[in-house]
Structure 1
Amino acid sequence: MLNQEIYQNIESWFETYSNSFSSENEEIQLNFDLKRNHSFNTVEIITELSSECELNDEQLLVSKTIALLHDVGRFAQLLKHETFSDNEQDNHIDLGIDVLKSENVLGKLEEDTVQIIFECIRYHDIDTLPKSVNEEALTFLKLLRDADRIDILNILSKYYTEYKPGSNKRLELELADKPEISKMVYKSVMDEKVVSKKDVLTLNEQKLHQMSWVYDLNFKKSFKVVSEKNYLKKIYESLPKKDEVIDMYRQVKIYLENNL
């Protein structure tokens, strides 16, 4: 059974593990710090969102554990490849699950709970959830996806607004800052679908992909936070003001407002 003591031990492991990564490269170090903070921020957000789900004490600790560990593979990815870009051979999902297994981080938990945690980590970053997701994991996974995206929208809306383009290439996934926006991206947004990662070839398309996450939010509080913090508007203001961009922003904004 996952109790407060076990959770605190997992949290202590995470702090020690994440703090073991450092770099003389200023941008790399900035991103180590960013990912560490993102993990703790996701814990705070998922705790807030969990109040909609009437979780018991153990379930709340499971959700917090998932939030804390969901991006643990980013540290090794950044150290080894100096990027946040995933590929089939090397991605932060597999790296994260591997390190949790090799260090036996979840060794005191029941096997069913361990599998729920791994399932949530495995699927937290895909465009749309497969129907094969374990029913027991589904609520935790939806909570994680919302909490994760809310904090990423917070990070990126600030970055796009306050910093010079190209100042953190890792956050931009090394994408070219070009004005082109494909018909596939436009169609997805206008059809109220999350833009597929495979269709993202430029930084502007990545921004629209991130704005389209609104179509996959699961909880009323998630819509409320995104609306109150003006994340979509801040990202929109960093995009070129072409007719198609204005159309897409209007579409995501209407969807958000209709779900408040």
Structure 2
Amino acid sequence: MNSCFLSFYQTWFDDYASRFHSPDPEIEKNIILKLKHTARVRDNISRIAGSLLLSPEEVAMAEVLAILHDVGRFEQLRQYGTFNDRISTDHAALGVKVIVRSGILHGLPKDEGHLLQRAVWLHNKYAIPETERGERLLFSRLIRDADKLDILGLIVGHLEMRNSDPNMNKALDLGLEEETGFSRQAVHDILNRRLVGIAALKNLNDMRLMYLSWVFDINFPVTFSIIEERGYLESLQTGLPQDREICEAVDFINAYLQERKRTLI
């Protein structure tokens, strides 16, 4: 993809998203959240792609993917009033529908258009299918790492401020409350090197465990380095109860992180 396409897709995205601005302060807060998120994911994916020494054309494709990856969120918010896929719809699948309806990929070679649609659809799935190969696998990994990096930063900042900020965004709590317990299913998933599924979440401690488990789905050395530099895992761990099972899960995650850093060098 030629880098000149970047400004076209950014302009299209900005115009599309502008239709969803609202006088309702809660809705507007979430529209702004997604606009800022998309910009940061674009920065993240550019940094990750650069670390892999990809060609300028591949970096441009990655940035377009970042611009489009959450385009379904705006329609999701308008239709359902929430970003919670569990009680609304799969925002990635909705995003692909928006992309197809708009016809914005018609100017691209078919293989590039299909690649972008596939990576958008896969960016929020539990795991990338083992059948993915080549560029489809690469770009799915790129967007998942870039997306996770920003979400981790958002969540860490939110959890640190939620009790003192009267304007905190309730959408980031996923409808969960701060309680003393935790899901043993979440701990079990971590100790078996699995992502914690959203169905296991009963309170904010479980949400912390879910985000900690994301280390099992990080693909590139630079992503691990950024996570470590920014202290995301330590911040998530700080809010957890000092329970033996929790400590075991946290130790397992920290050991896994060190192991992956060694194997990816």
TM bin, normalised by shorter chain, reads: over 0.9
For the structure 1 residues 89 and 23, does the alpha-carbon distance in structure 2 shift closer, same or farther, using more than 3 Å as the test? closer
Conserved 8 A contact 1:119-1:137: yes
Aligned to 1:4: 3
1:248 matches 2:223: no
How far 1:101 moved relative to its partner?
A: 1.2
Please name the residue that 1:239 is paired with. 240
Paired with 1:138 and 1:130, the residues of 2 have a C-alpha distance of 9
Partner secondary structure for residue 212 of structure 2: helix
How far, CA to CA, are the matches of 1:145 and 1:87 in structure 2?
Answer: 19
Query: Is residue 17 of structure 1 aligned with residue 16 of structure 2?
Result: yes
- What are the within-5 Å matches in structure 2 for residues 81-92 of structure 1? 81-87=80-86, 90-92=89-91
Partner residue in 2 for 1:127: 126
Q: Deviations over 1:132-172 (max 9, x none)?
A: 22532101111111110011001110000122289422111
Answer whether contact 1:181 1:204 (CA < 8 A) is retained.
Answer: yes
Matched with 1:101 is 100
CA distance in 1, matches of 2:47, 2:5: 21
- 89 and 31 in structure 1: CA distance in 2 versus 1, 3 angstrom threshold: closer
* Residue 181 in structure 1 maps to residue 182 in structure 2: yes
User: Partners in 1 of 2:208 and 2:57 — Cα distance?
Assistant: 36
1:227 aligns to 2:201 (yes or no): no
Structure 2: tracts of 5 or more residues without a match: none
* Corresponding residue of 1:168: 169
Secondary structure of 1:240's match? coil
Output aligned runs, 1:36-185, within 5 Å: 36-87=35-86, 90-164=89-163, 167-185=168-186
Q: Which runs of 5 or more structure 1 residues have no equivalent in the other structure?
A: none
**TM-score of the superposition, structure 1-length normalised?**
0.93
Q: Deviation of residue 37 (structure 1)?
A: 0.8
Change (3 A) 1:134 1:89: farther
Aligned-CA RMSD value: 1.9
Contact (CA 8 Å) 1:161, 1:235: kept in 2 or not? no
Q: Which of structure 1's runs of 4+ aligned residues deviate more than 6 A?
A: none
Q: Which residue is equivalent to 1:190?
A: 191
Contact 2:95-2:121 within 8 A present in 1 as well: no
Local SS of the residue matching 1:4: coil
Counterpart AA for 2:195: V
Aligned letter for 2:32? D
- Distance (whole Å) between structure 1 residues aligned to residue 206 and residue 34 of structure 2: 23
Letter in 2 for 1:101: V
Which region of structure 1 is more displaced relative to structure 2, 134-143 or 225-234? 134-143
Paired residues of 2:80 and 2:88 also in contact (CA < 8 A): no
Counterparts of 2:245 and 2:25 in 1: how far apart (Å)?
37
Aligned to 1:259, the other structure's residue is in SS state helix
* Aligned partner of residue 172 in structure 2, secondary structure: coil
Quote how far apart the aligned CAs of 1:88 are.
8.5
**Quick one: percent identity of the two aligned structures?**
28
**CA deviations over 1:195-239 (Å, ceiling 9, x no partner):** 122322332212211111011111110110000100011112222
Asked which structure has the greater RCO (Cα within 8 Å, sep 6+), the reply is: 1
What is the rounded CA distance, in whole Å, between the counterparts of 1:173 and 1:105 in structure 2?
32
SS of 1:133 mapped into structure 2? coil
- 8 A contact 1:194–1:209 mirrored in 2: yes
Aligned residues: 259
